[in-house]
Amino acid sequence: MSEVQPDKPGSVPDKPVAVVNSLEKEEEKVLKEFSFYHGFLPREDLLFVLKNEGDYLLRMSEVDSSEKTVTFLDDPARKRAIVLSISAEIPSPDTTASVMGTPNPQLKIKNIIIRRLSSKYFVEISKPFDTIKDLVEYYQKNPGYLNRSKFILKTPISQQRWEFLHSDVQVGKLLGEGQFGEVREGTVRRKQQTLQVAIKLAKGTGDMSKAKIKEMMREARLIRNFKHRNIVRLYGVAVDEQPLYILLELVKGGSLNVYLKTHGEAVSSSERMSMCKGAAQGVEYIHKQSCIHMDLAARNCLYSEDKVVKISDFGLSRLGTQYTIRSSRKLPIRWLAPETISAFTFSLKTDVFSYGVMVYEIFTSGKEPWDGFTNTEVKKLVRCFIVEINGDVVIDFTML
């Protein structure tokens, strides 16, 4: 699915004279008044929202510097576009339903940029409007034509059950952080209820790039329908403004590896085996959803106060049974299977290998795999899986 490009030369001059990708802050406030405004929802989510011919919504899109766009004369410094997304019954290979959710394979999404010139908004340059509301109301009653393609707005689609407003979210103390993101404790309100949540968001105060938005939403979309005791639950996302929030189940016990290191030998053998069993059940569920986690480790599991392991952090995860990455990507060498190290290939079986390394972490109180070896040495040793666990523990574990 690609965004509809500006009218061909003749309708719009070749030089950048029309507003196409900028929006002032006050206009953002106006957009929020529409019940069918979905903020920075990326196009990959649209087939899960626009399910019938004529369904439509408004959204915002960041415009990367590499994209060829016509700049806004009214505000050339801005890098955002208002997009009118409409579903149409035009069969296309790129609209095939995925294994997650129930998009209609007979629909194609048209993404039409609403442009602005001299404070007028338009889709067809011959039909300018004073406000976005006027534009939408016109096309609710009249068909539009763009690049010889007809469109009409039939049904406005409001926010989904998994979409929240930033105004409903209260952000609290920092729980953890990485190079690019952080997780904070917080609450979210919906229908007279207040839920405690963990809020995953990007670091910094600047606007997120289109690529970063796509990455965050891909993770949220992947686990949106996951429901299992040993998987961290996703409540939803808040995308009406930036930074985007991913709203997750708050697991107050913290990360599994920190728990193991903190409690050390005080953790009984039976509790360790229970950890392994819970993690195994979580992995089994993930694989039944045709998903490869790709980053199983104690650091990516949480441990609840009632002693339940919950697999989290699906940032690297992919749908399917096999996935090959580019060699340039940074990977957690000490948890990788031999075929991943040699060919950068992940599969359900490589997840099982990583699970085995996590078992080592559990029974050694969070000790780093191949402690004392460099990553280069680990690459050579991993094929033999030299790491050893206390013999009695192995016997107990195999009897579980």
Question: Which residues form the catalytic set?
Answer: 295
Q: Which residue has the tokens 């340039």?
A: 328
All residues at 6 or more sequence positions from 55 whose CB lies less than 8 Å from its CB, including other chains? 49, 86, 87, 154, 155, 157
Cβ of 234: how many Cβ atoms within 10 Å? 23
Strands 345-347 and 322-324: antiparallel
Strands 309-311 and 301-303: antiparallel
All residues at 6 or more sequence positions from 115 whose CB lies less than 8 Å from its CB, including other chains? 6, 18, 19, 20, 70, 121, 122, 123, 125
* CA 23/CA 42 separation, integer angstroms: 17
Residue 44 per-residue DSSP state:
G
The enclosing H or E element of 223 equals: helix 210-223
Q: Tell which residue, 260, 268, 269, 255, has the closest CA to residue 303.
A: 255
All residues at 6 or more sequence positions from 398 whose CB lies less than 8 Å from its CB, including other chains? none
Q: Tell which residue, 310, 308, 312, 292, has the closest CA to residue 300.
A: 312
Is the CB of residue 239 less than 8 Å from the CB of residue 41?
Answer: yes
Q: Which residue has the tokens 């955002």?
A: 80
CA distances from 125 to 76, 132, 147, 202 (A): 19, 14, 12, 37
DSSP bridge pairs for 86: 56, 110
Is the CB of residue 244 less than 8 Å from the CB of residue 237?
Answer: yes
200 assigned to a ligand binding site = yes
Is the CB of residue 266 less than 8 Å from the CB of residue 259?
Answer: no
Q: Helix or strand or coil: residue 95?
A: helix
Annotated binding site for ATP: 200
